A and B are shown apart, each in its own frame.
Chain A
Amino acid sequence: MEQQDRPLSPHLQVYRPQLTSVMSISHRVCGVALSVGSLLLIYWLSAAAAGPEAFSRAQGMLGGFFGQIILFLFTYALFYHLCNGVRHLYWDSGNGLEIDAVYRTGYIVIGVSIALTLLVWILAYATGGGA
């Protein structure tokens, strides 16, 4: 069949990033990142099950500077995906789909996910879990 030079619909990159689109793709990116990050949980649990030596190796790795940065990003991805997931469930009920409501819940999701992340890390350091 002969290929025709038909006009293409605009590619994604011609659009200016907006809160709506950025939050949408972030939800998916965080979901994939969390899936990969779940390996850490299984590794940590397996190390705890294996015995004190394996466990202290795992604690050393995850509790180190680099490990803590990964865990901090993981915490944020977790709470972002959680809060934005609740936003999706709210949308599934048929509510909050007007553009101003979408922006309002978007800012709420960002605010609440940052707050929960900080709370968890304050708790971790207060109880010695972070050190």
Chain B
Amino acid sequence: MDLRTPIKNARGLGSAKNGVTHWWLQRVTAVALVPLVIWFAFSLASNAGGNHAEVTAWIASPLTAGLFILLIGTVFFHAQLGLQVVIEDYVHGKVAQLACLLAVKFLAFILAVTGILAVLRIALGG
């Protein structure tokens, strides 16, 4: 006899109540990051050696600024998902784990906002 109600199977959300959302978002951001990171590494390598005027002119171009913003957003979203798993694996104790998780999530958000604002300030000449 199956004691589970059919709706549990229909929803497919499992005991963690979020199904494969975390796993799936980790993969989606990973796929997005493949071209973004390759662009970032090679583009940065050929542009980062300039002086302030040259580097800011490069960042300010709409394509570069746009890709930088997408990269920063995706990187920190992907990073906090990954760090969450690491913390859940290695940090034991409810309070310590929750504290670490909140710290990582908040920090990722702060860094992403800071980075995006820096790019916007360069791009819009604030």
Contacts and interface: CB of A to CB of B under 8 A. Distances in A.
Interface of A: 28, 31-32, 34-35, 38-39, 41-42, 44-46, 48-49, 51-52, 55-56, 63, 75, 78-79, 82, 85-86, 88-89, 92, 116, 119-121, 123-124, 127-131
A120 B49 contact: no
Interface string B93-109: 00000000000000010
B49 A131 contact: yes
Contact of A38 (B46, B76, B86): B76
Given A45-B119, A85-B30, A130-B49, A31 B56 contact: no
A45, A55, A130 interface centre (most CB from chain B within 10 Å)? A45
Contact of A39 (B45, B55, B68, B111): B111
Interface string B35-54: 00110011011111111110
Interface in B98-126: 108, 111, 114-115, 117-119, 121-122
Contacts, number: 102
A48 B52 contact: yes
A32 to B, nearest CB: 6
Nearest to A119: B42
Given A39-B111, A45-B119, A86 B45 contact: no
Contact of B56 (A48, A88, A116): A48
B115 A45 contact: yes
Contact of B75 (A38, A46, A48, A119): A38
Contact of B49 (A32, A44, A85, A124): A124
Contact of A55 (B27, B30, B55): B55
Interface string B1-37: 0000000000000000000000000010011011001
B45 A127 contact: yes
A129 B118 CA distance: 21
A116 B41 contact: yes
A46 B51 CA distance: 15
**Leading 9 A-B pairs by shortest Cβ distance:** A129-B49, A124-B45, A49-B118, A45-B118, A52-B52, A128-B49, A49-B121, A35-B79, A127-B46
